Structure 1
Amino acid sequence: MLSVNVLDAATRLAAQCFLTAVPLLFVFGSFAPQGVRNQLLASVRAVFGLKGAADHQLEQVYQSGTQSLQETTGIIGSLMVVLSATAVSRAMQRLCKRAWQVPKGGTKVAPWRWFVWIAVWLAVLVLQAPLRGGFGVGLWLGAPLTLLCQTALWWWSQHLLLAGAVRWPPLLPGAVLTALAVTALSVSAQFYMPAALNRTLAEYGSLGPVFTLLSWLIVVCAAVAVSITVGAVLAQETPLAHRLGTLPARRDAEAVQGGGS
């Protein structure tokens, strides 16, 4: 936990999400078809439980028309936002490497992985509304589907960003813990975020929700950092290491040194 520096990693990741991922949602909405834009709007509402003034402002932005949104973002601005959005991927990759103690030269630099990670996360975000509703069946199906989707997503994310430096089975504990933490925070956001956003919007204007959203992102990113790190530690502990086929490089090195002495 000390080597990962959870608080620092969470703060950096949250800042990158706010500065790059949030603008990317507006760029994506400006060029996406109307149906996809409506689905994105519904999913953002589902994630944050938006209602009242905050929901009205979000709807005004996304329903202002494709031409208006494209003129606001611009082609050059859109390209810059897309390129800068890889900062989130790089921050997440550094977190995974620290958690698994992968050396800096342990994986090849492959920028395509950063773009693929962002594209898949956008696709998953668009599907959040129907997924949480169990595709019309109800919450009793939506809740386990969301948890299953989050587990698969974080399992795949670690493997992709680590470039295969760690095998699939050892990555599963971190994926399960992260999925549980993110799902729990997502459910709790339904009770806290709407009132907090509307209150800060009424008191401080459009600048108010900035602090609320950033604070929530820091909490989520801290939960992600802790979960991935704890998952990596558990996967290298004796009870799970044998089952998952984990090869803890640090312990192997210590064993070799001990044998040589």
Structure 2
Amino acid sequence: MRHRYRRWREIWDHSAVGRLVGHGSEVELMHRSLGFAALGYVALLPLLVLVAALDPTGAHDFPQWVIDGMGLNARPARSVQDVFSTPHIVISTTNALSAAILVFFGLSFAASVQAGYSRIWGLSISPWHKLWRQTVWLTGLTAYLYVVANSSVVLRDGLWQGLARGALVLLLGLAFFWWGQSLLLGGKVPARQLLPGAVATMIGLVGLRWFSHWVFSPLVASNAVTYGPVGTVLIVVSWLVGVGYVVLGGTLLGRHVSSWLGHHHFRWHPTPRPWHQ
């Protein structure tokens, strides 16, 4: 019985799916997703609040960005609006210390994504190339989210405008995650090997939005009644964990797909288990 289990375990470990799952476990995908959510909440969300406050058009406030990203219905959307609404005096109340803290956590967030990408591809990035790449990537992410959020203001009426917005979001997202991987990895991986990861990430984000619409949306409404603002925050953070899992998991899947397509000869080998020895 033990021999049969060992045999099936070896077959699983060396199968395509088994290697993908094992690689994800070895790079601590879930642990990194939790870190992504934590840093995203303390760094990315305040940054988007500030960008929304700086928006001269005032057409899109920060809570609406979260609502669009999660695909929330009317009632859950009001709960998010109540929790995350911020007045435009946020600009005048932002001092040098709070701005410095925001920059520190923002770069820490970018560094966590860079570390995840590097671990997935088995690369080391020179310290001299880290800071400026993280800064550029964070700026690009903020610009991407700003354009995507405000596209709903310009393209919001009618079927064709909705389709145009969907195509715009997908193309911009594909371009950002393709470019972002190359930037954070220091250009050490050819662009064609990074494309499958960008495609997988966008497919995952579309699936996450659909999941959020049907699962997180009713949970936001029920948790807001049961636990108040804390319940709403809990669901938003859970959604951020999902975003982190998709962003890093999409890159992981992309590396394996690139290998399957013959773009490179990477083959992840599982760590030997006690029963293998």
- Determine if the TM-score, normalized by the shorter chain, exceeds 0.5: yes
Partner in structure 2 of residue 219 of structure 1: 242
- Taking the TM superposition and a 5 Å limit, the aligned residue runs for 1:121-136 are 121-131=141-151, 135-136=155-156
**How many angstroms does 1:138 deviate by?**
2.7
Letter of the 1:229 partner, please give it: L
> Is residue 54 of structure 2 the alignment partner of residue 54 of structure 1?
no
Partner in structure 1 of residue 208 of structure 2: 185
**How many angstroms does 1:228 deviate by?**
0.6
> Is residue 30 of structure 2 the alignment partner of residue 7 of structure 1?
yes
Give the match's secondary structure for 1:94: helix
Give the match's secondary structure for 2:42: helix
Partner in structure 2 of residue 97 of structure 1: 118
Work out the CA distance in 1 between the residues paired with 2:63 and 2:245: 26
Give the match's secondary structure for 2:227: helix
**How many angstroms does 1:101 deviate by?**
0.7
Work out the CA distance in 2 between the residues paired with 1:58 and 1:248: 46
The structure-2 alpha-carbon separation of the partners of 1:194 and 1:124, relative to structure 1 and needing over 3 Å to count, comes to same
The structure-2 alpha-carbon separation of the partners of 1:175 and 1:80, relative to structure 1 and needing over 3 Å to count, comes to same
Letter of the 2:192 partner, please give it: P
Partner in structure 2 of residue 38 of structure 1: 60
Partner in structure 1 of residue 42 of structure 2: 19
Which digits, 9 at most, give the CA deviation of each residue in 1:187-246, with x for residues without a partner? 332333333223222221222222111111112211222211111122123x332xxxx3
- Taking the TM superposition and a 5 Å limit, the aligned residue runs for 1:152-171 are 152-171=175-194
- Taking the TM superposition and a 5 Å limit, the aligned residue runs for 1:223-242 are 223-237=246-260, 239-241=261-263
Q: Is the 8 A contact 1:20 1:85 kept in 2?
A: yes
Q: Is the 8 A contact 2:59 2:150 kept in 1?
A: no
Partner in structure 2 of residue 254 of structure 1: none
**How many angstroms does 1:173 deviate by?**
0.7
Structure 2 gap segments, 5+ residues each: 1-22, 270-277
Work out the CA distance in 2 between the residues paired with 1:147 and 1:112: 27
> Is residue 145 of structure 2 the alignment partner of residue 120 of structure 1?
no
Partner in structure 1 of residue 272 of structure 2: none
**How many angstroms does 1:133 deviate by?**
7.7
Aligned length: 240
Q: Is the 8 A contact 2:59 2:153 kept in 1?
A: no
Work out the CA distance in 2 between the residues paired with 1:113 and 1:27: 22
Work out the CA distance in 2 between the residues paired with 1:249 and 1:219: 27
Q: CA RMSD in A?
A: 2.7
Work out the CA distance in 1 between the residues paired with 2:93 and 2:221: 25
Normalising by structure 2, we get a TM-score of: 0.75
Partner in structure 2 of residue 29 of structure 1: 52
Work out the CA distance in 1 between the residues paired with 2:195 and 2:148: 22
Partner in structure 1 of residue 131 of structure 2: 111
Give the match's secondary structure for 2:122: coil
Partner in structure 1 of residue 225 of structure 2: 202
Normalising by structure 1, we get a TM-score of: 0.80
The structure-2 alpha-carbon separation of the partners of 1:24 and 1:130, relative to structure 1 and needing over 3 Å to count, comes to closer
Letter of the 2:97 partner, please give it: I
Partner in structure 1 of residue 17 of structure 2: none
Alignment match of 2:108 (pick from 61, 79, 87): 87
The structure-2 alpha-carbon separation of the partners of 1:42 and 1:26, relative to structure 1 and needing over 3 Å to count, comes to closer
Letter of the 2:255 partner, please give it: A
**How many angstroms does 1:171 deviate by?**
0.4
Q: Is the 8 A contact 2:83 2:232 kept in 1?
A: no
Q: Is the 8 A contact 1:132 1:143 kept in 2?
A: no
Partner in structure 2 of residue 258 of structure 1: none
Give the match's secondary structure for 2:129: coil
Quick check: 171-180 or 221-230, which moved more? 221-230
